[in-house]
Structure 1
Amino acid sequence: MANMLYRLGRTAYRKWPFFLVGWLIALLALGGFAAAKSRPMTSQFTIPGIPSLQAAETQKELFPDQPAADKQVNGQLVIKAPAGHTLAEQPYKGQVDELIKKVSGVQQMPKTKLANPAEAGPAMKQQIVAQATKQGTPKAVAEKNAEALSPLSKDGRIGTVSWNFAVDNIMDIKPETQQSILDAAKAAEKNGLTIAAGGQGMQEMMQPGTTSELIGIGIALLVLVLTFGSFVAAGMPILNAVMGLMLGMMGITGATAFFDLPETTTALASMIGLAVGIDYALFILSRYRAELRHVDIKSQADREHAMGRALGTAGSAVVFAGLTVIIALSAFGVLGISMLTAMGLGAAGTVTLAVITSLTLLPALMGMLKTKAFAGRVREDKAADEFDHDSTNGSVRLARGIRKAPWAVALAVVALLAALASPVQHLHLGLPSDATAQKGTEARQSADLLAEGWGAGKNAPMIAIIDGREIDGGQKAQMGAYAKVVEWAAKDENVANAQIVQMAKKGDGAVVMVTPKTGPADKATDEMLERLRDQQAATEKATGTKLGITGQTAIAADVSEKLADALPKYLAIVVGLAFLLLVLVFRSIVVPLLATLGFLLSVLATLGFTTKLVTDGTFGIFEPQPIMSFMPTLLIGIVFGLAMDYQVFLTTRMREAYVHGTEARDAVIDGFRHSGRVVVAAALIMISVFAAFAAQDNALIREIGIALAAAIVFDAFLVRMILVPAVMLMLGDKAWWMPKWLDKILPNVDVEGESLAQHGARPGTPAVAGAAGSAAGTADAPAASGSVTAGGATPASTVAKVFEGESHSEPKHLADDNDTVRDDGY
């Protein structure tokens, strides 16, 4: 692979116009298709086969003329009169009448007439009480049932206008429909009347934004300027990442023409794609700059050669690192959850483009800039230089500090990560709802008004579907069985109300509305559903019915449970894959084991931190609420991929030094010397990109952004930069132990670029037999002691040491003051 990438780097550098034009054509073509064929994305998240959706299928059979609970796209307006007044008073009643008239005329609204709650509420209560008492229901129970169903609160101050949109899917809701309803509601808010819109159909469709991306790019640019000491060079990783990101976003948008994609797909892909696009280009550009230090930068052939070696070494590591992220995200497919699979594949596609642009677009940009690639230098004392003395290299000082007391350092880091992970014991998973929306939004206001008027459970209704087709004895027997089911549900300690709200035409089925006392984000609601399900079989046996519980609250709970059950399987796949890939790359058993265990620690710490932040509401960033159901799975996949990135980029430099004869503990220091600063810069860029998404209004995106930023802090700085090196310093040579039989059968993936020995000499100079190496230390096996190659050339080991920065007797044309930046910017 190294040789292939070497040739690719030289070709892209030399024929840069063809590569740049090719990328522009791809951008225009994909953008045109996306603009012409794309459809809105969906905010619905379901998993076929879960109990609540099975109950919804039964509902379709019993009530074929009505949409099942999982297909209803509902909307509602919640209206509140000012203190001391009711909605039945004027002018409020007239304002609501005018509002209903305007809303009814909006496109995609149902043909059924909408009712003013001030009129419909009392009439409905009277009718329900009369019918129920006639059938023998105690008056107190009948009145309680009427209050639960009434569109008007008991005090008459709060009312609801509800409907199901005339659409088949939430994706069919047009933004103009939503806006027309919101405009009508805004116009009706006079004389102290408060109106808020809620329901699935009124959820704001997440539009692709740029604010978070621009914030992340701005911070990343600052880090890159400090890293390269050049404004031009700092802009290249940004340009590379933006190109990959635009292509990825257009690809995902275009894919909506063929697939239903969740609205979080673009946000997740933009987070990951932007971060890795900048990081991968940073690693390659850093290596290219190092290679240029040892060639005649005014020679086109020399610059081509430097780019070829940069791609053959750092590019190989980028390919492997990108592959780990792609595999981890694509592995979401093994969970059998279509929406999560779509999110993973969307992000994986963007990462694939980030790798490809880093390997082709970046070299082409360097070819276009020629000798100006590192122009526009900032002050030399501000530029981070890979070849600084150890006394000024913070990464080396860190490594040497760890070396003094590795046991103490390792124990301290493990203790800190364990403390961060401790809140994970009360992890609570769920899906977003109006009740968990950001304060101040229409959805949250409507949920708060419903809770004020009817109790928190009004936002979390469940539907029990009774199938009475197997009951013998006719309708009388069926009605008796249905009554027993209602009685059973109402007995639960957390049920506020349970009543039959609909009967099948043939009398062979019924719908029971079960209203809990607690809201959708409350753990007690999930526990209530679990109790009812546990008792379901016994109730079916006692009544002769078949039961199922559905509704949006039940569907959300089932999705969360399904994802939680799938988590161990996915974790096993990812951890196993991580170990095998790292064994293949590092040809060691211990290093991959350390990397994998470190990954588990960082994931647990991140989940604990996120639980503290979201579920407990610490720091006030989030209202206390469940963590998104798929957050743990996303974290495992993404953190695995990114963690392996840092492990590869840092440990390959350690391995290069070790295989070329450096003592094991010194090799750890050497890895920090050459890669520490670049890894820190890459981590800071990722943290800035992810943290920028904390500014999003969408709670899900904010949660993902903050969690991923925290994950990078824990994994890059605590695990990769401190814990793993500390254990390697303890173990010494044992860290690189590998059974001989396994070493013989494993293929050589050559991430270090060992095979580039043939390209070690500068073009136009006498060939050095076996010459290898670069600023990264790539070299062939050292020549035999005392040997001299043909033509009296320096042995490969000496060349390697020169390129490694370990010798100060450099040839004149390679000489460079390691303490300064050259006048030409290199």
Structure 2
Amino acid sequence: MSSLLYSIGRWAYRSRKLVLSLWIVLLVALGGGALAFNQGTDNSFSIPGTESQQALDTLSRTFPQVSGTSAQVVVVAPHGSTVRAADITAPVADAVKSLGEIHGVAAVTSPYNERVKNTVSSDGSAAVITVQLTGQQSTVTAATKDAVKAAGADLQSALPAGSQVAVGGQVFSQTLPSISATELIGVGVALVVLILTFGSFIAAGMPLLTALLGVLLSVALIFIATLFGPISSTTPLLALMLGLAVGIDYSLFIISRHQSQLKAGVDPEESTARAVATAGSAVLFAGITVIIALLGLSVANIPFLTTMGIAASVAVAIAVLISLTLTPALVGFAGKRITPGYRATRRRERAAARAAAAGELTESIESDAAPAATSGPSLAHAAKAEIPPGFFRGWVRSVTRYPIVTIVAVIVALGIAAIPAAQLRLALPDAGSHPAGDPARVTYDLVSEHFGPGYNGPLIVTGSIVSSHDPVGLMTKIGDEIAAMPGVAAVPVATPNATADTGIIQVIPTTAPDSPATAQLVADIRAKHQHFLDTYHVDLAVTGATAVQIDVSDRLGGALLPFGILVVGLSLVLLTMVFRSIAVPIKAALGYLLSVGAAFGAVAAVFGWGWFGSALNVAKEGPVISFMPIILMGVLFGLAMDYEVFLVSRIREDYVHGGDARRAVQSGFVGSAKVVTAAAIIMISVFAAFVPEGDSSIKPIALGLAVGVFVDAFIVRMTLVPAVLQLLGDKAWWMPRWLDRILPSFDVEGDGLQKEIELAQWPEPGSTALAAAEGLRLARRDKPVYSDVSFRIDDGDILVVGGGHHSGKSALLLTIAGRMASDSGKLKVAGFALPTRRSAVRSHVAVARLALSTTPVDEVRRAMQGDPQILAIDDIDRVDDPADRRRLRYELSDAFSRARLEGRPFALVVSAADLDAVDDALPTDADAGTISLDRASTDLSGAHGAGHRHAADRIPQKVNA
């Protein structure tokens, strides 16, 4: 992967104009598509297949007058009067009539209708006009809503002074989220952090530019997708928040690596390619983890949540693609100007040149040149002064001095922080969560004040009564029984439909729609399902907007555990692949759980307990949106893996190179802490900016992510992790060899690429060798399979690997062919360094294993069909039929001849237990040499076999295992 990214980075640098043009064209195309095809978003939440949704779908066919959404017009009489006064009843009657004439209104219930109970408050001070609308909340047109509001305004003007009219209800309970100027504060903080980190305005602007482009593309795609199905209005805002945060961070990682390499004197083009290969590998890994976690939201099997996960994952994927392509293109435009102090350096150089031209150059210029090259503008010095390396060195020393104390302190502190999470309540948003003064919130509060909180979320109990001979009496009996249940405030309506085949009972709870007691009442009514079936022969179901929301919340709550298992299990597998360790992934997963617990605790304390509620502009204490936990867990998982990879991979790199595990903790921490700190501050700033003025649905998610990132980056990764690694020492990097063999490797730090760069001019500059090795070693269960193997194979050569059946000859042949990986040593095949480029080598080296083949010549022919550069034949001495041996020699001779005629390289590597049995199976006109892995042998013989030209200058001879 790092080699592929290296090539992408170099190509993007060289083709920067093309890359920039392609992204701009894509933005214009998608932006135009969004404007042309946008169908608008909605806030309707439903789950197909739940009891409430199935009943609602049935009502839309059998009793449409009650299946749609509704509005409420609340009338409050002047102080000292009642709503039954003549100067109020007449205007209300007129309003009922005008409301009924509005297009999209199915029915209007007058508060003075004697067949409907509880529409006038017990003290007569308030009345409610119920307006039943056709269709669901998402399908009611703006014109219908405006007409209802206008009728309410007309009623207000017709009532006596001191009266109050408020228009609200379910249809007005959802608001479309919008972006405010407060969100720009997060971008401003990010810009300051980037300037301090890079010491360059040019470098600081690049992450913002790439992140903004990614966000625009993501949001455009979301609006285009509304053409194919409903999308929650929270979805584009979530994509905006995530895309902005990860887009800035991912570009930051790459530019930071590029800038440090430029300071070390690396050529800008080479530095760009290396930065994309190394930091870009970590970006790709981090992006993949976030994407997988977001796609994992589909485990809840809730359509709107799945859509949100897909949309957010697309935003992250776009951020990754832009970081890996547009970022290297932009640094290509900037050249060396991205280096801190570049302009000051250039001024010094020009001054030196002028002085030299005037003959005034002195030796002091040379002494000034070195510090001039590294000195930067005041911002660079400010960055160093703000968070110097010495700060991080002191920090890591302090947290690792007594690692057990640090570990216990962190766990206890985060455990305490997670305590409020036990009281975290979940529900879907309604008008009660709107800001005070919002018309829908005013209506909600008036209904609660004069009628009781349950009137804001009535339940509907419905069932088929087609077999009943007394539908009205039946519904009355069932209504009376339900009215007597605990938690029921009233049953205003219990009636059959016009065709007497479906009955409905409107149930008013004593508690608010988002109260746990209301959810319990729904459960209690459903628990009596069999009783109603046995007693009245009616199959009843509980539905209505409140029941639908309760079912959605229950499904989301039930999905938390499987989703958590998925996320934690995924983190264990991915981190084991990256760090080749058992302890590090377990520590990372447990640290992630601590971060999640603290984030949930903060959300519960603010939105449930009211801590800092005024400062954070929390409109109402109570439950938070139901999908907050699962969204937060998914996103925070990916971000936590970001910090884990960037911090621990540097520690592991220093450990591998230095061998001292505890010293590597400090050196690796100091080397990576600055970029992790900058990335975390940017993330926190972007998320926190969505809290004060954010949408009520997004506020708890943003707060949870801001707190979660702070805890994970600064407390878990930069405090707990060094302490744990210090305590474990070398044990932190232990991994069973069998597990190491079966797990694929994800080279996020580009170690393989570094090895490939080191071997670029090996075995000598401009080498044409098809394969070369030096000091190869492979061991299994700490016993050598082969060791200290060196050779070189040129075009036209044959290498014979000899040895007994347990000597490792087949393992060596498969290593050369890229099918196995050696433990140490240098190996380069077809121009590719191994084991880094094993997949590329496999496409240039064919393998024919003859031990189990009944038609060995046909097996070799099949292997040669792709015209490989190297053909590896295992157990060639198993071909014991003389005729087959002659045919095999002919095929191999023909392969060499065709390769020469076509001007392409070709070489042969064979293994045999009996070296004397290979002579008449191999061509006689090729240079050949022998490596013997026979442990019983101690001599170093020359090229094996009569008739083979000696190739001792290229192929070292017999090598002992």
The TM-score range, normalised by the shorter chain, is 0.7 to 0.9
**Cα distance in 2 for residues equivalent to 1:382 and 1:194:** 63
Shift of 1:503: 0.8
**Cα distance in 2 for residues equivalent to 1:389 and 1:497:** 64
Shift of 1:89: 5.1
- When normalised by structure 2's length, the TM-score is 0.72
Assess, with a 3 A threshold, how the Cα gap between structure 1 residues 355 and 212 changes in structure 2: closer, same or farther: farther
Shift of 1:535: 2.6
- The structure that is strand-richer by fraction is 2
Assess, with a 3 A threshold, how the Cα gap between structure 1 residues 111 and 739 changes in structure 2: closer, same or farther: closer
2:589 aligned to 596, 606, 611, which one?
A: 596
Shift of 1:679: 0.7
1:674 and 2:674 correspond: no
**Cα distance in 1 for residues equivalent to 2:104 and 2:125:** 26
Secondary structure of the residue aligned to 2:612 is helix
**Cα distance in 2 for residues equivalent to 1:696 and 1:629:** 20
**Cα distance in 2 for residues equivalent to 1:733 and 1:687:** 34
**Cα distance in 1 for residues equivalent to 2:493 and 2:94:** 33
Shift of 1:105: 6.8
1:475 and 2:469 correspond: yes
Assess, with a 3 A threshold, how the Cα gap between structure 1 residues 379 and 99 changes in structure 2: closer, same or farther: farther
Assess, with a 3 A threshold, how the Cα gap between structure 1 residues 534 and 304 changes in structure 2: closer, same or farther: same
Other-structure match for 2:420:
423
2:137 aligned to 170, 175, 180, which one?
A: 170
Other-structure match for 1:806:
none
Other-structure match for 1:384:
383
In structure 2, list runs of 5 or more residues that go unmatched: 344-375, 766-773, 778-824, 827-961
**Cα distance in 2 for residues equivalent to 1:696 and 1:682:** 24
2:631 aligned to 624, 629, 634, which one?
A: 634
* Letter of the structure 2 residue corresponding to residue 170 of structure 1: Q
Assess, with a 3 A threshold, how the Cα gap between structure 1 residues 391 and 449 changes in structure 2: closer, same or farther: closer
Other-structure match for 1:663:
660
**Cα distance in 1 for residues equivalent to 2:557 and 2:409:** 31
Shift of 1:101: 7.5
**Cα distance in 1 for residues equivalent to 2:272 and 2:532:** 73
Other-structure match for 2:770:
none
Other-structure match for 1:733:
730
Other-structure match for 1:253:
223
Assess, with a 3 A threshold, how the Cα gap between structure 1 residues 770 and 220 changes in structure 2: closer, same or farther: farther
Other-structure match for 2:71:
75
Other-structure match for 2:506:
513
Cα-to-partner distance string for 1:6-52 (whole Å, 9 max, x where unaligned): 11111111211101110100000000001000111111111111121
Cα-to-partner distance string for 1:410-467 (whole Å, 9 max, x where unaligned): 1111011111111222232211112333322122111111112211111121111133
Cα-to-partner distance string for 1:739-764 (whole Å, 9 max, x where unaligned): 011112222221110122366579xx
Is the contact between residue 117 and residue 493 of structure 2 (CA under 8 Å) also seen in structure 1? Answer: no
Structure with bigger RCO (C-alpha 8 Å, 6+ apart): 1
Cα-to-partner distance string for 1:212-261 (whole Å, 9 max, x where unaligned): 54222111111111111222211111011001011001011111011211
- When normalised by structure 1's length, the TM-score is 0.83
Percent of aligned pairs with the same amino acid: 38
Is the contact between residue 660 and residue 782 of structure 1 (CA under 8 Å) also seen in structure 2? Answer: no
Other-structure match for 1:275:
245
* Letter of the structure 1 residue corresponding to residue 40 of structure 2: P
* Letter of the structure 2 residue corresponding to residue 223 of structure 1: V
2:399 aligned to 392, 395, 402, which one?
A: 402
Assess, with a 3 A threshold, how the Cα gap between structure 1 residues 254 and 311 changes in structure 2: closer, same or farther: same
Cα-to-partner distance string for 1:376-413 (whole Å, 9 max, x where unaligned): 8651564435xx99974322221111111111111111
Other-structure match for 1:751:
748
Is the contact between residue 475 and residue 496 of structure 2 (CA under 8 Å) also seen in structure 1? Answer: no
Shift of 1:524: 1.4
1:617 and 2:610 correspond: yes
1:691 aligned to 679, 688, 691, which one?
A: 688
Other-structure match for 2:349:
none
**Cα distance in 1 for residues equivalent to 2:387 and 2:434:** 51
The range that moved more, 686-695 or 507-516, is: 507-516
**Cα distance in 2 for residues equivalent to 1:554 and 1:486:** 18
1:211 aligned to 177, 181, 196, which one?
A: 181
Shift of 1:642: 0.8
The range that moved more, 373-382 or 333-342, is: 373-382
Shift of 1:625: 1.4
For residues 297-446 of structure 1, the aligned pairs below 5 Å read 302-374=267-339, 378-379=377-378, 382-384=381-383, 392-446=389-443
**Larger CA Rg, structure 1 vs 2:** 2
1:555 and 2:548 correspond: yes
* Letter of the structure 1 residue corresponding to residue 255 of structure 2: L
Other-structure match for 1:43:
43
* Letter of the structure 2 residue corresponding to residue 318 of structure 1: V
**Cα distance in 2 for residues equivalent to 1:51 and 1:684:** 45
**Cα distance in 1 for residues equivalent to 2:12 and 2:21:** 12
**Cα distance in 2 for residues equivalent to 1:179 and 1:509:** 32
2:644 aligned to 633, 644, 647, which one?
A: 647
2:536 aligned to 525, 534, 543, which one?
A: 543
**Cα distance in 2 for residues equivalent to 1:277 and 1:580:** 25
Shift of 1:714: 1.6
* Letter of the structure 2 residue corresponding to residue 355 of structure 1: V
Cα-to-partner distance string for 1:734-787 (whole Å, 9 max, x where unaligned): 11110011112222221110122366579xxx969899xxxxxxxx9999xxxx
**Cα distance in 1 for residues equivalent to 2:50 and 2:10:** 54
Secondary structure of the residue aligned to 1:703 is helix
**Cα distance in 1 for residues equivalent to 2:314 and 2:416:** 36
1:159 aligned to 116, 127, 133, which one?
A: 127
**Cα distance in 1 for residues equivalent to 2:93 and 2:302:** 44
Other-structure match for 2:932:
none
Secondary structure of the residue aligned to 1:75 is strand
Is the contact between residue 498 and residue 512 of structure 1 (CA under 8 Å) also seen in structure 2? Answer: yes
* Letter of the structure 1 residue corresponding to residue 547 of structure 2: A
**Cα distance in 2 for residues equivalent to 1:294 and 1:382:** 18
The range that moved more, 730-739 or 493-502, is: 493-502
* Letter of the structure 1 residue corresponding to residue 284 of structure 2: V
2:105 aligned to 106, 110, 114, which one?
A: 110
Question: What's the Cα RMSD here?
Answer: 3.0
**Cα distance in 2 for residues equivalent to 1:217 and 1:102:** 49
Assess, with a 3 A threshold, how the Cα gap between structure 1 residues 155 and 479 changes in structure 2: closer, same or farther: closer
* Letter of the structure 2 residue corresponding to residue 243 of structure 1: L
Other-structure match for 2:453:
456
- The structure that is helix-richer by fraction is 1
Other-structure match for 1:465:
462
Assess, with a 3 A threshold, how the Cα gap between structure 1 residues 154 and 306 changes in structure 2: closer, same or farther: same
Secondary structure of the residue aligned to 2:658 is coil
Shift of 1:350: 0.4
Other-structure match for 2:261:
291
Q: How many residues are aligned here?
A: 730
Shift of 1:104: 6.3
1:84 aligned to 80, 86, 97, which one?
A: 80
Assess, with a 3 A threshold, how the Cα gap between structure 1 residues 563 and 391 changes in structure 2: closer, same or farther: closer
Is the contact between residue 249 and residue 682 of structure 2 (CA under 8 Å) also seen in structure 1? Answer: yes
**Cα distance in 2 for residues equivalent to 1:350 and 1:36:** 21
Other-structure match for 2:847:
none
Secondary structure of the residue aligned to 2:111 is helix
Other-structure match for 1:121:
111
**Cα distance in 1 for residues equivalent to 2:153 and 2:536:** 50
Other-structure match for 2:59:
59
Is the contact between residue 332 and residue 340 of structure 1 (CA under 8 Å) also seen in structure 2? Answer: yes
